[in-house]
Amino acid sequence: MKSAIVRLREYYNHASATEKDIVKYILEHPRETTEMTIYKLAEETFSSPASIIRMCKKNGFSGFKDFTKALIYELAMRDHNQSEEKSEITKSDSIWDIIEKVTYKNIISLEDTKNIIDVEVLSKSIELLSQCDNICIFGIGSSLIVAKDAQQKFMRLNRYCTVSEDWHLQLLTARNMSSRDVGIIISYSGQTSEMIECAKAMKENDAKIISITQYGISPIVDLCDYNIFVAANESTFRSGAMSSRISQLNVIDILYTGYANTQYEQSLELIKKTHIRKEGNQ
């Protein structure tokens, strides 16, 4: 089931002025919205039924009924799984409080990401990775950490991946790619200028591009062939880069596992072969 709340929350910054009023009202009054007709919601948000339908379609729903159905289901699931929203970190928190709250935030980020992942896009991305000549991974800052994790995983399956810490080398890699190569761009904002340049270079060479970004419209999303969206759950001491990294790493694990599963027996052999035994590890 598609997540209505997460999609709207991530979409808000990209919405038009009219759509922002609609989104804001729904996020503040989700239960009331489920009981409204489209005409009542239009009246409450000073908009029109047509604007509401357009907003729903932009977020992957066929219309308002499809949206409210997803919203009802999501609210029911949240009631079942969450007795109450965890509070932010406070000065008086003990170490145990911090453990509880940080762990909870991570779990919610993963749950929200699961709810906005498009299974068809994920399947096509895995198919691309299975058929391409080379996999080139791009990311800077905290996204570079995720890129390196992806490289290490795929190389265990004898799938050579390129990733460089130097942005200029990343751009050179992008300019040398061909239509038989696939690029994975990791950028939570979807607006990192260096990653946009790399995406444009890959596009000129007809290379296929997979992005891992936050949900919504962005320059990188517009340039890529397949977009895998992640959600972040921020708190007082957790910037977007910190909270999104958990979700990005989870997506990499899913891509890696999905890829390994396409050649199950061979992957098991390669994982066994590339396991590096440490002293005292039997």
Domains, in order of start, for the chain:
1-83 (1.10.10.10), 119-274 (3.40.50.10490)
**Cβ–Cβ under 8 Å, residues 135 and 154:** yes
Q: Residue range 251-268: average pLDDT? A: 91
- Amino acid found at 10: E
Rounded-to-10 torsion of CA 250, 237, 227, 20? 140
Say whether pLDDT at 84 is over 50: no
Residue 226 binned pLDDT confidence (cut-offs 50, 70, 90): very high
Cα distance between residue 212 and residue 220, in whole Å = 9
Distance CA 265, CA 262 (A): 9
Judge contact between 96 and 149, C-beta under 8 A.
no
Residue type, 35: E
pLDDT at 229 over 60: yes
pLDDT value at 256 more than 60: yes
Query: Residue 152 has what pLDDT?
Result: 93
Q: Please, which pLDDT band fits residue 34 given cuts at 50, 70 and 90? A: very high
Q: How high is the pLDDT of residue 193?
A: 94
Place 231 in a pLDDT band, splitting at 50, 70 and 90: confident
pLDDT at 238 over 70: no
- Rounded CA-CA distance 26/222 in Å is 27
Note the pLDDT of residue 253: 95
What pLDDT does residue 107 have? Answer: 81
- d(CA 250, CA 149) in angstroms, rounded, equals 11
Q: How far is CA 10 from the centre of its chain?
A: 10
How does residue 239 score in pLDDT terms, banded at 50, 70 and 90? very low
* pLDDT at residue 281 is higher than 70: no
Q: Where are the beta strands (DSSP E) in 47-169?
A: 134-138, 161-162
| Closest alpha carbon to 192 in 169, 173, 213, 207 | 213
Question: Residue 80 above 60 pLDDT?
Answer: no
Q: How confident is residue 4, by pLDDT bands cut at 50, 70 and 90?
A: confident
* pLDDT value, residue 83: 45
For residues 209 and 206, what is the distance between their CA atoms, to the nearest angstrom?
9
| Beta sheet of 208-214, edge-to-edge order | 161-162, 134-138, 181-186, 208-214, 226-230
The residue type found at 50 is A
Mean of per-residue pLDDT scores for the chain: 87
Q: How many CB atoms lie within 10 A of CB 195?
A: 28
State yes or no: pLDDT of 85 exceeds 80: no
